[in-house]
Structure 1
Amino acid sequence: MSNEIDQQQLYSGPDGNSPFRGLGGLLRQNIKNLTPYSSARDEFQGEASVFLDANENAYGSPLVQAYNRYPDPMQYQVKMRLSQIKGVPARNIFLGNGSDEAIDILFRSFCNPGVDNVIIVPPTYGMYEVSANINDVKLKRVLLTEEYQLNLEGIAEAIDANTKLIFICSPNNPTGNSINRDDIETLLANFNGIVVVDEAYINYSRQKTFIQELTEYANLVVLQTLSKAWGLAGLRMGMAFASEEIIEVMNKVKPPYNINEASQTLALQALANIEQVNTWIKETLQQRDNLVLTLKDMAFVLDIYPSDANFILVKTTDANSIYNFLVERGIIVRNRSKVELCEGCLRITIGTPQENDKLIETLQQYNA
């Protein structure tokens, strides 16, 4: 199917002649009227030595590191370090308890329950659907093409006056491929709503990040995370990059202390070790190439899809049988065989050389 579409097909506004015009018509009325919680730390400027404002335990914590004080509600130091790394002003950065919090806040800010809808493009990350269901927001599914790319014509047909968000995961989970950049820009330029580009795996990709396009598209939200390449999944810190106006809305809706002090402190330490992370990325990509070459020779492997992530999607003759065979031997992969367009597929994360060797040895036993 051709991706050549009329620009007007994507536009959901009232007059049919201009794209995104700002958040005025997108925000829920109750969010427009919301007065955010004002924490004790929000109510003064400058430095202080005595804090008697937040009903904290002044004596400390029963730990080596003291955690008796509430953390910075806006995570200033972490955002400043991310600003240096990402090349984007701190005011354009939101930090959440994982990217999942950012996803949920977008639903709560822009989607009226029982009225509005969002579009996802399966197969894709499952939390978009979960968040939609939690927030009672209708979900419209437009399947990717057989090449795992956007069906722009199908998206255009799905958009209506109540479509607020479109979620695009690139590189995509579980398929691993990057979504065609021109297609995403077509949506950004013509959709009268917010386009969310989830870049959880961007550090492994050959494509450049969409963060560089924030000044070009006021309706763009880019999600990233410290859980993957940065190896901080246990800290739960996700990032959203967007216009200052959108970030202000997200900060207004979030809980006052959504990122704890330990996570902020450890994240700052990790962000000082870019060279280590880059080394791991290079090693992961080499291991991915090695694993693909080895798996291609196994009789049960029908296809291995191109990947820009730290995992591969492998089409097999019997995904359930292989999955159970591996589980019985203490190796866990992800069975995606029941996901649309992923029939017969296993998603395999790239491990250490030792873990990958064990996987290969075990699969060779199955192959035999």
Structure 2
Amino acid sequence: MDINQLVRKNVQKLTPYQSARRIGGKGDVWLNANEYPVAPHFELTEQTLNRYPEPQPEQVISRYAQYAGVTNEQLIVSRGADEAIELLMRAFCEPEQDSILYCPPTYGMYQVSAETLGVQTKTVPTKADWQLDLDAIKQNLDSVKLIYVCSPNNPTGNLIHPDDIKSLLNMAKDRALVVIDEAYIEFSPESSVIKWLATYPHLVILRTLSKAFALAGLRCGFTIANKPVIDALQKVIAPYPLATPVADIATQALSKDGINTMKLHVINLNNQKEKFANALNQLSIVEKVYPSRSNYLCVKFQDDKDVFKTLWNQGIILRDQSKSIGQKNIIRISIGTQAECEAVISALKAIK
């Protein structure tokens, strides 16, 4: 029996998202997934694994709402922001009829989630400076229900101009939700659009504990929006999205001490990023180090140097962006420890 005959046609054609772990590699220096380089330590305090967890853990919700400056009813917690990306499509997009719109180069899960659900996609590449092409977006809004914008953007690291986001919100009024993915916002907290929720009822913000909170393995993310949006998501989310240990650790991470620790992480990582960028800029093999408001750098290398493969073979695992729109010869490098960054510099110096 050919099981593939039973698989949905759109899934048969689907290429899975190439996550850092799916791509694989063998080595000691892992700088390809935008993770915090040092693991935090937590002790489990909840011993109720015989019971189902709360559908929306009250302490997690209240602590994150307080941290973000919103009300509890403006928040829903999910298995990472990845689940939130898909929940929005499940709640708002009619398969085979409605579309999402996103602006590459950007995070790949917007496309994969839409294709998995049978939702159409529209792509409007960013301009040469990686800012939104508002005129092109305006021409492509027919059938669009969700517009995904990542700021700071993954993989480029730049912030989207706030005036452009406002223009996009005005353009999409009464037509679509504008979803601002703020997974990396702790590295540039003053640039959050969260205060705009009162003005724009169709604004949605995605957050995560994976980056600055150093909890990528926890899989805990948040959708922040006005109550009608949250109410719709409550209808389609799984009954128990957060396991008890996940909620336990998230609650601790969102304590006053936990948030202060996160802020120290950000200071340390931003300092390390500046030193790493300066070291990269001194290498002849490097053509450009792009400014970054996140926990990674995009680096353009000389055309005839196979930097990614050379370092891969040495056990230094980076993220090759060369197949993405506008990313030729560019490699994304997560900010690691000082020793890891020094290993990258040493390996690059040896390339002739």
TM-score for the superposition, normalised by structure 1 = 0.80
Secondary structure of the equivalent of 1:158? coil
Aligned to 1:304: 289
Structure 2 Cα separation of the partners of residues 240 and 130 of structure 1: 19
Query: Against the structure 1 CA distance between its residues 244 and 263, is the aligned structure 2 distance closer, same or farther, given a 3 Å change threshold?
Result: same
Structure 2 Cα separation of the partners of residues 169 and 180 of structure 1: 11
- Match 1:326 to one of 302, 305, 311: 311
Q: How does 1:1-368 map to 2 (within 5 A)?
A: 65-160=47-142, 162-191=143-172, 192-205=175-188, 207-272=190-255, 273-318=258-303, 321-366=306-351, 368=352
The Cα of 1:320 is off from its aligned counterpart by 7.0
Q: Which structure exhibits the higher relative contact order, with contacts defined as CA atoms closer than 8 Å and separated by 6 or more residues?
A: 2
The Cα of 1:319 is off from its aligned counterpart by 8.2
8 Å CA contact 1:319, 1:337 repeated in 2: no
Query: Against the structure 1 CA distance between its residues 64 and 115, is the aligned structure 2 distance closer, same or farther, given a 3 Å change threshold?
Result: closer
Aligned to 2:22: none
Structure 2 Cα separation of the partners of residues 270 and 64 of structure 1: 14
Q: Number of residue pairs matched?
A: 304
Query: Against the structure 1 CA distance between its residues 177 and 64, is the aligned structure 2 distance closer, same or farther, given a 3 Å change threshold?
Result: closer
8 Å CA contact 2:138, 2:171 repeated in 1: no
The Cα of 1:206 is off from its aligned counterpart by 5.9
Secondary structure of the equivalent of 2:317? coil
Amino acid at match of 2:77: L
The Cα of 1:101 is off from its aligned counterpart by 0.7
8 Å CA contact 1:285, 1:310 repeated in 2: yes
Structure 1 Cα separation of the partners of residues 205 and 90 of structure 2: 17
Whose radius of gyration is greater, 1 or 2?
1
Amino acid at match of 2:56: M
Deviation track 1:115-138 (CA, whole Å, cap 9, x = no partner) reads 111111000000000011001111
Deviation track 1:58-87 (CA, whole Å, cap 9, x = no partner) reads xxxxx9944111101121110111122111
Deviation track 1:274-297 (CA, whole Å, cap 9, x = no partner) reads 121111101111111111111111
Structure 2 Cα separation of the partners of residues 225 and 319 of structure 1: 38
8 Å CA contact 2:46, 2:244 repeated in 1: no
TM-score for the superposition, normalised by structure 2 = 0.84
Secondary structure of the equivalent of 1:166? strand
Identity rate of aligned residues, in percent?
Answer: 40
Task: Find runs of 4+ consecutive structure 1 residues off by over 2 angstroms.
Answer: 63-66
Amino acid at match of 2:335: I
The Cα of 1:356 is off from its aligned counterpart by 1.1
Deviation track 1:281-338 (CA, whole Å, cap 9, x = no partner) reads 0111111111111111111111111110000100111487111111111111100011
8 Å CA contact 2:46, 2:245 repeated in 1: no
Structure 1 Cα separation of the partners of residues 153 and 182 of structure 2: 8
